[in-house]
Each structure stands twice: as C-alpha cells, then as structure tokens.
Structure 1
Amino acid sequence: MNEDLGLSSSQYSMALVVFFISYVFFEVPSNLILSKTKPSTFLPTIMLLWGVVTCCMAVIHDYKHLVALRFVVGVLEAGFAPGILLIISSWYKREEQSKRFAVYISGAVLSGAFGGLLAGSITSNLDGTHGLEGWRWLFVVEGAATIGWAICSHFLLLDFPAQPCRRKFTEREQLLAIDRLVLDNVSTTEGDTPRISSVKALVKAVSDWRTWIMVFGYMVIVGSSTLSYFYPTLVQGLGYESTMAQYMVIPIYAVSFVAVVASGIIFDRLHQYRGLAIAGWLTLSTVCSIIVCLVYNFTARYVLLIFMASGLWASNALGLSYASSAFGDMEQETKGVALALVNALGNLASIYGSFLFPSDDSPNYLLGFGVISGMCGVGVMIYIGAHILLRR
C-alpha cells in the first residue's frame, strides 16, 4: 500500500494517528446519542456505514483520501466499543458482567491470534484479481463482512430493558429484567422517567471520582497492552523467522484466551474482589516484564512474554467489568458518558504506547519492557486503592 499510494513513513504514521484522534473524540458524543436511541438501530447503522467506508478505501489513490477516510472510520467506530459496554452494563447484574466482558475481549484475543494470518492469506491469494492489489481486496473483504454482520445485528441486538421490544420479550419478561437490576442497585431508565440532558450527564460523569480512578486504571492496562502490536516483532527478536514468528504468536493469544475466560467465570462468583484480581494479574505482568529486562535466553523470554500477555488481557476484561459495576447506580446517560470516557481516554494510551518498541532498541527492547513494568506497577496501586475505596 505504501508503494502504490506513494506514502512516506511519516504519512503512514499520520494515517494511523488520525484514526485515533477521531475515535477518541467522538466516543462520548456517540454514547450520549446511544443512551437516547435504540441500540438495535444505532449500532448496526454505524457498523454498516464504517463497512461502506472501509470498502471505499479499496479505491483510494492518494494520501489525502486515505487520511480523510481513516478519520471518518474513526468517527463511526467510536460508538461501537463504548456502546457495547453500555448495553452489557444495562442488562446484567454486577455478578453477571465479568463473563460477558470476557466474551467481548476474547473476540479481540482471537482476532489477534488469527487476524494477521487471515489478512496475509487474503492479500497474497487475491493480489491481482480483477486488477486490484491484495491490500485493496483486504479492505473489500473486511468492509463487506462488516456490512453483512451489521444487517444481522439489527435483528439480533437487544435494546435497553425499559425500551419496548415485544418482538423479543413479553412485557412481563421486561419487567423482570428491570426488577432484577433494581434489586442489584443498577440504575435503569423507565419509559416515564425524566431524562437528564447531555450536558448534565457529562458534568456528573466528570465530577465523579469513580470515573477517574477507572480511567487512570484502564489507561495503564491499555498502555501496557500495546505490547500486542509488537508480538511478531518481539518473537522475531527471539530468533524466529518472519513466517514462523506469525505462528509463534498464536500460543501467546491462546494462553491469554484461557486467562480471560477463566477470570470472567471466577470473578463473577467473586465479583467483590475484581479490583484485587486486576492488581494480581498486573503484578504477574510486572514481574514477568522485569525479568524479561534481565534475562536474554530466547526460550525463557518467550515463556515470560506468554504469561505477561495473559495478565494484561485478563486485566483488560476485568477492568471493563469493574468499571461497569462501579458505575452501576449512575443514570443511563451518565453511565454512558463515564464508560465512554474510560474507553476513550484509555485508548489514548494506544498512541504513546505505539512508540515503546523502536527498532533501534532490538533485540532486547529494554525501553518498552521497562516502561511497561512501571505502568503495571502503578496499575497495581490504582486497583488496590479502588478496591479499598469502593468497598467503603
């Protein structure tokens, strides 16, 4: 793609960064819109639109069009992740949320395990078909898949419990769904309940200390988790060739998948200890990261990388469920803003995290592992503090 579009290294980096700018900026507005509309309409609509825009990226011919479309994709995708967080937190009690967030994050884990191989297969096998380069076909396939799933999602996705959805539930079942949340002190918005304004929701969210402790905690997790961007590079640094490095990444994700699912199951039963569980996983990642800085044996580093990654992925899923539970008694609009802030500001870490493993620091990458060790250590203190404060 760089050659076909004549992109310099700085232009390629800007195309990546511009996505995160729009993605982070539009998360809060998107969740404010979602909290006042129907998820079964809003989320599939933005999915459909970003699928169309992704397909359009297959016909771009210069840098300006690439940047413009990447910005638009960021705007549209901004509503998806915080929207999913809001829906899960609106249907499930506190002791039911960890498993659901584990399913959500495990999708990202599986995508990381096989996404690179699938993308490589598409670009290599379809390159030149109908006169299109392989990277253009990748945009077509991914965009078409998104469009198809967006259409299916409209019929599968639930709205909020208090919204009319008789095609899926009877009125009695809806009342039961609301009552069980009320008994768990999870706020629900009834049809005749006055709605608060977007400005008031924003003010209430940013003035609540729970929002910021979860924001800073999640920033640590996401910043450390940018390690996943560099799995193939790090594995190559351990002595594996390029193709083999892609396959050696799979065990890293496989162990992480088990850790995410197991944590989701266990800490629904022990939901009051989620803060300590996150601190425990981050402690594991901290210890592994410190040892990686001291040990240069290829096999030992690979094993440490596996356990380090599993701790970060498990922390990610638990961090989202912990935030959702902490915000349970907030009004729907306020909760939507708070969850969007956690996800948006947390993903700011993706920007600076992408600079942690420069090529001139290979093969030991002491800078990256050193910074991650420090961030995970801070995260341990944040989540222990959150556990103490939220238990009061």
Structure 2
Amino acid sequence: MPIMADTQALDAVDPLERKYSNPVHDDKPLDADAGDEVYVFAPNAELEKRILRKIDLRLIPIAMIMYLLNYLDRNNVGNAKTAGMQKDLNLSSSDYSLAVSIFFVGYLCLQVPSNMILSRTRPRFYLPGIMFVWGCLVIGYVGVNTKAGLIGLRFVLGVVEAGFFPGILLYMSFWYKKMELARRFAVFYSASLLAGAFGGLLAGAILSGLNGASGLPAWKWLFLIEGLMTVCFSVIAVFILPDFPGNTKWLSKEERDYAVGRLIADNNIDSEEDTAIGHWKSIVMAVKDWRTWLFCFGQSCNTAAGTITYFIPTLMSALGYSGKHAQYMTVPIYMVALVIVLVTCFSSDITQERPKHIMAVAALSVVSLAITAGVQGNPHVRYAFLAFGASGIWACSPMTLTYLSNTISRPAEKRAVSVGIVNALANLSSVYGSYIWPSTSAPKYIPGFVTSTMLQFGSFAFAVAAWYLLKKYPYPVKALAVRMEATS
C-alpha cells in the first residue's frame, strides 16, 4: 500500500516536492513542472531494510567513535586525578569538585544556539569542527601547572563541547523514524560506557609505562594522547559523516526519496508551515511548552546522579584498590552498564514504549544504590551493586532524551531548542552534583549514595508523571495528510 503525503491536497503534489526539501537540506528538490520524475512513496520492506542498513553503517559507527572521544576528553579528569594530577596541582576535594563542575557552566552557554545552528547547516562540517577545537584544548592540558589553569581550561572546554551531544541527538532524529531512534541512540550512547572502560585501561597502561617519560607525568600523557586522537579523527569524520537523507550521495535517487518519504509518513518531518517558523518563535514555543520543563526535571535528576561517573575511580580506591588496579576495576562496571543500556533501549523500540522502561531502570538504580550505601562490611557486595546502580543511572539518560525527541517531534527547530534547553539545564545540575562526593565522607561516601538514590527516585517519579500526562494531554502537532492507494 503506497503512501502519498501532502499538507494541502491529497491528489496533487508529490510528498518530496518543494515544501519538504528544506528540512532535509535537499539542494535540488523535485520539480514536476521541470520534468523531474514524481516519486510516489510506497511502503517497501525490502527497500527500507536496505536503506536502514546503509544509514546504520554510515552514521552509527562514526557517531559512536566521535562520542567515545568526546566522553574520554570530558571525563578523563577523573582518571587524571588518581594518576597524580591531584597531588601535582595541590588540589583539595573542593578544588577538584570545582574543576569538574565549572565545565558544566560553560556547557550551559551554547547548547540551544548550537542546536539552532545545526538545524540549518551541514552536520558533516559543523560537528567535526567542534570536535577539532575541543581536541586542541585537551592537548592544552599539557601546559597546565596550576589549579587556576585547570579550572579555566575546563570552563572553555565546556563551552566548546556544548553543541556536540544534543547536536547528535537532533541529527539522528533527522534520519530515523520515532520508534527506530531509541535502539540507535542506545548504540551511540554505549560509546560513553566503552569510553569509561577504555579510559580506565588507557589510564592504567599510561600509569605503568609513560609516567615521567620526556619529563611529563602520567596524567599529562593521558590528556596528550587522547587529545591527539580526537584531533586526528575529527579530520577523518569530515569525509565520512553524512549530512541529511535528501542530499546524501551514497543513497540512490530512489533511496533518497524513500528515506524522506518514510519520515513524512511517520509525521517526523516539517511541513511548509513548520519551516516558516522563525528562530525567535521556535524559542518561545519551546519555553512555553510544559513538556520541555517536565523532561528538564527528569533529565536533571539523571544527570545529577550521573556525576558518579567522575568518582568511579575514587570509589574503587575506597573499596581497597590502588594505582593501576583502581583504574582497571572500573572496566567491569561499564561493561555491565553497556548490557543493561542496550537491552533497555532495544526493548523500548521493539515494544514501542518509553516511560515504563525508564521506571524499570530508575527502580533498579534506587534499590542498588540503597544497598551499596547500607552494606559496609563487604566490598565485593558493594562493588556488585555499585555496578547495577550506576547502570540504572546511565540507562535512564538515553531513554529520557529519546522520549523527549519522540514527544516534541515538530517543528524541527522547536525540537532543537527543547533538546538544547533540557540537556543544558540538566547538565547544569552537575555543578552541584559534583559536590555530593566529598573526600571527608570516604570510604563510605554515604552522602553521595543517599543523594543519588533520591535523585533516581525523582527519575522514577518523572516517568510516572510523563506516562500519565502525555497520555492525557497528547502533543498538539498537526499530522501530515496521508493517502493510501494501491500499488501499480
């Protein structure tokens, strides 16, 4: 059964004609008057499978590697701390927390404007460009010899990295239907978990083999190597990362038309009326929508609890591990999280359900973190439940952001603003979240575990509220008109 989509007349216009060219940045839209072939979109399982395979192979691996390097460069300060940075820079517990949190002050500044720019520019240049600059900044850690220098560099790094993560989420929503997005975003997000594991392995290897080489301490070698990796890969990414379905060279004309048409049928692409909305109106629409603030609350709980990421190596030391062994023992925790995140998000897409999955992983983290806080005599039990508690936190984040992107689907620029607002304000919670793990509470770290447990209960409450409210008050988007007709 083919589908013809149009917002004005069901009988007249090709769904991929002029009004749908702008959202996908098609430089040469179809023009029936000029003699171009008019393509009628028809559901075709074989063609769709082939297109998805091409998109997945071209987009997901490159995005994963970019995010892996992004996560390494953002969070390697935790590995550097236990590799000698704290001693060399004479950092107190409060100094380190400030260095962690100041990143998110800078991170807040550019998320919304960056997403608005991305929605109207070419991702293959914009996203690798951001990556190149932050890679150069990470290399700049080599010149840091004071805590003031560390704090200043962390702030600038946050400003530059601000556009990447929400930009990737927005970018992926231009390629996939709503119920295809969670599993792809989960695979992408799993790069952060692989980065956590890889970061521990790399830090352990550097601590063993490069400490003092060429006069540099191990923690400076860590930043230098990871920064060079980022700079080199940003150049490669320009030649691999695709832009949008409508102007992608490695899809045939038939595949490009179908790739856009299926998004039209999924009500996930802007109409002519949507694209006429300006920047300011998009901002106003996003700010006035209560859904933006509901998701902001949920993601803020996830992100504040997620500051445990910066203290995983420290918590390993509290459990009795030291040196390179403290670095290596972080790896199994991220591997457990990888499995839980992928299973949760794939299940969510397959069952086409979001809030109950968030409830499940939030409940997992609440119970696990409470046990970790309560059991003090057995480090092995604490280690095991710390892995499950952290996994629940990390699984909530991609699920919440995917749920947001599915809910506020159109106009695209309003979605861009909403994603930017939610991610920016949620990451601002890391400013205070980084202070819930003071060194004075070692080795039990009760304040950190109790606060994280309460925050994850907030994530559970958000999911319940979203499940009820979004069912009672569906998102008011005008559906694109669709006609079903027989295949010739």
**TM-score, structure 1 normalization:** 0.90
Distance 2:441 2:89 in 1: 29
User: Pairwise mapping of residues 227-306 of structure 1 onto structure 2 (< 5 A)?
Assistant: 227-271=308-352, 273-298=353-378, 299-306=380-387
- Which one is further off, 62-71 or 37-46? 62-71
Q: Which amino acid aligns with 1:301?
A: R
Q: Which amino acid aligns with 1:27?
A: Q
Post-superposition shift, 1:313? 1.7
Post-superposition shift, 1:288? 1.9
Post-superposition shift, 1:13? 4.5
Q: How many residues align?
A: 387
User: Pairwise mapping of residues 60-79 of structure 1 onto structure 2 (< 5 A)?
Assistant: 60-62=144-146, 65-79=149-163
- Which one is further off, 96-105 or 171-180? 171-180
Post-superposition shift, 1:2? 5.4
Q: Secondary structure at the match of 1:24?
A: helix
Match of 2:226 among 142, 147, 150: 142
Post-superposition shift, 1:253? 1.4
- Which one is further off, 114-123 or 238-247? 238-247
Match of 2:463 among 367, 371, 383: 383
Match of 2:264 among 182, 186, 200: 182
Post-superposition shift, 1:270? 1.3
The reply on whether 1:125 has 2:206 as its aligned counterpart is: no
The reply on whether 1:169 has 2:241 as its aligned counterpart is: no
Q: Which amino acid aligns with 2:372?
A: V
Distance 1:360 1:122 in 2: 29
The Cα offsets for residues 27-66 of structure 1, whole Å up to 9 and x where unpaired, read as 1111111111100110111111221222233234555554
Match of 1:54 among 115, 138, 154: 138
The reply on whether 1:104 has 2:104 as its aligned counterpart is: no
Post-superposition shift, 1:335? 1.0
Query: Greater helix share, 1 or 2?
Result: 1
Distance 2:270 2:425 in 1: 25
User: In 2, are the aligned partners of 1:55 and 1:143 still within 8 Å (CA)?
Assistant: yes
Distance 2:427 2:349 in 1: 25
Q: Secondary structure at the match of 1:336?
A: helix
Distance 2:318 2:96 in 1: 24
Which residue is equivalent to 2:81?
none
The reply on whether 1:45 has 2:129 as its aligned counterpart is: yes
- Which one is further off, 11-20 or 279-288? 11-20
Q: Secondary structure at the match of 2:328?
A: helix
Post-superposition shift, 1:118? 0.6
User: In 1, are the aligned partners of 2:365 and 2:393 still within 8 Å (CA)?
Assistant: yes
Q: Secondary structure at the match of 2:168?
A: helix
Distance 1:183 1:130 in 2: 60
Distance 2:447 2:144 in 1: 37
Q: CA RMSD in A?
A: 2.4
Distance 2:276 2:147 in 1: 44
Identity of aligned residues (%): 42
Bigger radius of gyration: 2
User: In 2, are the aligned partners of 1:189 and 1:332 still within 8 Å (CA)?
Assistant: no
Which residue is equivalent to 2:486?
none
The reply on whether 1:351 has 2:431 as its aligned counterpart is: yes
Q: Secondary structure at the match of 1:41?
A: helix
Match of 2:279 among 184, 192, 198: 198
Distance 1:240 1:382 in 2: 36
- Which one is further off, 169-178 or 214-223? 169-178
The reply on whether 1:83 has 2:167 as its aligned counterpart is: yes
